[in-house]
Amino acid sequence: MRGKTLLVVVLGFLPFCVEGVLAQATDSIQGYIYFNTAERLLRTRGNLKIGGYGGPHYNQPLSGSTRRQGILDVHRFIMLMGYQFDKRTQFITEMEFEHTNQVYVEQAFLEYRVNRGLSLRGGLVLIPMGIINLYHEPVVFNGVERPLLDAYLVPSTWREIGLGVSGLVLPLSIKYQAYVVNGFKSFDGQATIGGATGLRNGRQNASNAFAYTPNFTGRVEYFGLRGLNLAVSGYFGPTQSTLYEGLPRADEAARARADSSVVGVRMLGFDARYSYKGLKLMGQVYYTSLTNTKAYNAFTADKNGGNLGKAMFGYFVDLGYDLLRTADTDKQLIAFVRYSNFDTHFKVDELLSANPAYDRTVITTGLTMFLTRGANVKADVQWQTDESTDEWQTTFNTGFGIMF
């Protein structure tokens, strides 16, 4: 049934991907190459560079027999700073303030530009998987909250320490990134990944991160058709475990225990964005294959684990339309609907039963109003399947977003 649903979604989505004009034309070199805030700063003139994005949110639950309180939250505000040492060498850092009381470093990398087609980059980088992990500013996507799919399967915002290359190959209409990075943490005395939260709690985020085996990640975007951006992303490598620390090479029993705490990760993603006049489409598909899950579940059964699936799958399709369609493209009123489904127990090993609560569906519909380029106000209603009762949870969300 899932395969048929995916086929219908893909076949229904592809006919729109023929021609058009990308809405955010000034975000690109030729009209349909996307850049996030950090990438914009890299292309801004001057030595000292400043950017930012974020916004406050109001979330009001509407379902249930009793009234539940709403939550007002300055969800995140982010400041970026960059410094250009010379025409080839730049540094970018991104500081994130969440809920007014949490501070994170989201990016911090040094880039050396060999030419337009090749730059060397090292430091804390965003893993180039999918749209939202790279382009998660609130003026990029519809809806107040980021798509929930990207909290579990990618999981956004996912960043690690790495070294790699990036660039534009304009004759081929290609934008690419490729890095060697440290992997997910799967065990630190307790299991850190599983069916309930997917790989999310395995992110190390450059906080005393450790690495025994490097991982590889890469992304290629194609922008050769007018109004269309297509991309393929990948991530491959084993997770990391503290059990390897100080492990004698001759201790085979200890080595076997350590090996049982590690999972192989193979993640693939496809995404597409398309715009034609007032029509705006966005879609993502992810598939993650995990190896050694039987041994991992057995080893972590009494260590807050034991329920990791051997495959995860998810997708969303977002359809929007600009109701204003005025000559002033900076002002838009976008009505949208987004359908999302993701399952962290898409496949399980023979010793584990798939938990239907981990197969989640989310439907979101609402309005995004751009007051000007880089500033919008949003409101939406979101229906999400309840993990415990298999009923729908309904939430009203509103807020504003900025990006500069």
Q: Does the global pTM surpass 0.85?
A: yes
The pLDDT, as a whole number, for residue 66 is 64
The pLDDT, as a whole number, for residue 8 is 39
3-state secondary structure string across 140-176 = CCCCCCCCCHHHHCCCCCCEEEEEEEEEEEHHHCEEE
For residue 315, the domain's CATH number is 2.40.160.10
β 118-126/102-115 pair status: antiparallel
Range of the domain at 248: 2-403
Residue 163 backbone dihedrals phi, psi, to 5 degrees: -140, 135
The encoded tokens of residue 143 equal 């809806």
- At 210-221, the pLDDT tens digits run 999 999 999 999
The encoded tokens of residue 353 equal 């039963």
Cis peptide before 155 (omega within 30 of 0): yes
The pLDDT, as a whole number, for residue 26 is 33
For residue 247, name the pLDDT band (cuts at 50, 70, 90).
confident
In whole angstroms, give the CA distance from residue 231 to residue 270: 6
Domain count of the chain? 1
User: 189: how many CB neighbours lie within 10 A of its CB?
Assistant: 11
- At 85-141, the pLDDT tens digits run 999 999 999 999 999 999 999 999 999 999 989 999 999 999 999 999 999 999 999
| Lowest mean pLDDT segment, chosen from 20-34, 57-71, 178-192, 293-307 | 20-34
The pLDDT, as a whole number, for residue 220 is 98
For residue 4, name the pLDDT band (cuts at 50, 70, 90).
very low
